[in-house]
Structure 1
Amino acid sequence: MEALLTSTAVVALAEIGDKTMLLAMLLAAKYRQPVPIAFGILLATLANHFLAALIGAQAAAWFDGDLFRYLVAAGFVVMGLWTLIPDKFEEDDKPRSRGGAFLTTLVAFFLVEIGDKTQVATIALGARFSDAVMVTIGTTIGMMLANAPVLWLGDRLANRLPLAKIRIAAAALFVIVGLWLAAETAGLLG
């Protein structure tokens, strides 16, 4: 249950203001079909994050030991610092498709999520919890919690959210998880 809740919270916060959220806004404005876009986000996230969580869990199995746990902890701290840097959606990132709202969203989200903060966080969460299924469910819930409101509320929501404060909260959560893991590995907790 810890893997599910932590993964949900980390990704929901990290996703706010992320380029995939900006992509969701763009797709919502372009297609005005929130349901197929939501299903595209859901399936793309499940596929992308399951692979990421699996990579993290497998890495943890291969490299089990204190050094690897410290590296994962440092990864969370680095993710926290990276979260403080606002994302922007580049002109080249705009989806180009003839497949309609669902297919465009599915492909665009899967591709844009590669190397994104939330995917890297999913790898680290997979390594931390060694449970690809629960991490994937949690990170997918987090993605949907952050992106679904954008599909229906769009710019009105984006203009009212305190993105800088949310980004700071997300960064703090990453750093806290990293420091907690480092303290746990060092035997300072427990």
Structure 2
Amino acid sequence: LIKSLDRGHVLKTPNPEDVESLINEDLAVLMLTQVDYRTGRMHDMKRITELAHAAGALVIWDLAHSAGAVPVDLAGCNADFAVGCTYKYLNGGPGAPAFIYVRPDHAKVARPALSGWLGHAAPFAFDPDYTPAADVSRMRVGTPPVIQMTVLEEAMKAWDGIEMADIRKRSIELCEQFIAGVEASCPMLELASPRNPEER
């Protein structure tokens, strides 16, 4: 994408622990995974979004390893955009749809890389000219996977009455127990995840 834009943009991929120190006025867009699948490191979404906005940058969050695993508050963090999947921790299974979040003030001006029939303002009017929808539905690029959406709809019922804060609390308890057990039984192993539970 950077090469196709041909506007002198540079893609940088810093170490996760260096992200905050590299946010400055030269940054246009920060795309960052909230939870790093390799280490379990969890970035402070609110803090990083605030830092990026203060530097004049947009933020796109990757929620592939956080949606359904940890609390996510995109509106509360004032995130610009987010993308994620439902086949992992939301239990949609193989072929489950992905999702996108577009902050409402960006919805009328953000343009998808691909335009699709269902992203049209009036897809069933069959107008030969393309007019994008005025809201986030302009991001739809094709026919949704109907069967997988039905599976996801049923999988989402498992979340009825469940608070993410409770899941997070239990997750921390289980991780702490697991880490203690491994360190007691296998002292030669080194913990790759951050030790502080607020960072993983």
Larger relative helix fraction: 1
Larger radius of gyration: 2
Give the TM-score category using the shorter length: under 0.3
Q: Which has the higher contact order (CA 8 A, sep 6+)?
A: 1
TM-score w.r.t. length of structure 2 = 0.23
Larger relative strand fraction: 2
TM-score w.r.t. length of structure 1 = 0.24
